[in-house]
Amino acid sequence: MTLHPRYDLWILRSLRRIMRAADVQSRRLSAEYSVTGPQVLCLQTLHDDGPMTATALAKLVHLSSSTVVGIIDRMEQKDWVLRERSLKDRRQILLHVTDEGRDLLGRVPSPMQDRLARGLEELSEKEQNALATSVERIVELLEVPDFGAAPLLEASPIEDSIATTPVVRVDGDGPGKPVPGGR
């Protein structure tokens, strides 16, 4: 009997080690600078890419919008970011890095990037390319499609949903009652 290596477990264990290293670095940042890795990631992205909405930031850093809003709330309390209404579209709220935020970025080490950059410098261009391509391929294999709210909704066509979904009328007399014929 030939034993085949379990590449899936090998890769998952390696990914777990990477996540643990990121967590350790985030805890170190929190203890030394009162900032977390995700906060640095969001702040650095805002600094590098300029003012943007929380939704745009969430997409760039691959976090959910609700998570990013929480991160932004905490960074706003520390005066690292500022929310301002867009002059072009008053409905949009843009996030800006403040002077305090830029000062923090100048003092805090980037989460794991310096260590990774030093390690990559020891590799040839070909090895760096192969590594980057392999990691990106793993991301593609594991990535969950962005369905937004779709998983909570029925996937059938709208016409089918209308025809089969009973319409419920709610009066003040008690629980809702199905309306005959769906309307």
Residue 73 has pLDDT above 90, yes or no: yes
What domain count does the chain have? Answer: 1
pLDDT band at 80 (very low <50, low <70, confident <90, very high): very high
By the 8 A CB rule, do 131 and 41 touch?
A: no
What is the pLDDT of the chain when averaged over all its residues?
A: 80
Tell me whether residue 77 is in a domain: yes
Tell me whether residue 36 is in a domain: yes
Q: How far apart are CA 182 and CA 162, in angstroms?
A: 8
Mean pLDDT of 134-150: 73
Q: What integer pLDDT is reported at residue 114 of this predicted model?
A: 73
Q: How far apart are CA 32 and CA 111, in angstroms?
A: 13
Tell me whether residue 178 is in a domain: no
Considering only residues 7 and 1, tell me which one the structure prediction assigns the higher pLDDT: 7
Residue 171 has pLDDT above 80, yes or no: no
CATH number at residue 51: 1.10.10.10
pLDDT band at 66 (very low <50, low <70, confident <90, very high): very high
Residue 57 lies in domain: 7-111
Strands 81-85 and 177-178: unpaired
Tell me whether residue 164 is in a domain: no
Q: What integer pLDDT is reported at residue 139 of this predicted model?
A: 86
pLDDT in tens, 85-125: 989 988 899 999 999 999 999 999 866 667 788 888 899 99
Q: What is the pTM of this model?
A: 0.65
Tell me whether residue 138 is in a domain: no
For 32, residues 6+ apart whose C-beta sits below 8 A from its C-beta are none
Residue 172 has pLDDT above 60, yes or no: no
Helix, coil or strand: residue 84:
strand
Tell me whether residue 22 is in a domain: yes
Compute how many other C-beta atoms are within 10 angstroms of the C-beta atom of residue 116.
Answer: 13
Tell me whether residue 162 is in a domain: no
Tell me whether residue 131 is in a domain: no
pLDDT in tens, 21-55: 888 888 888 899 999 889 999 999 999 998 999 99
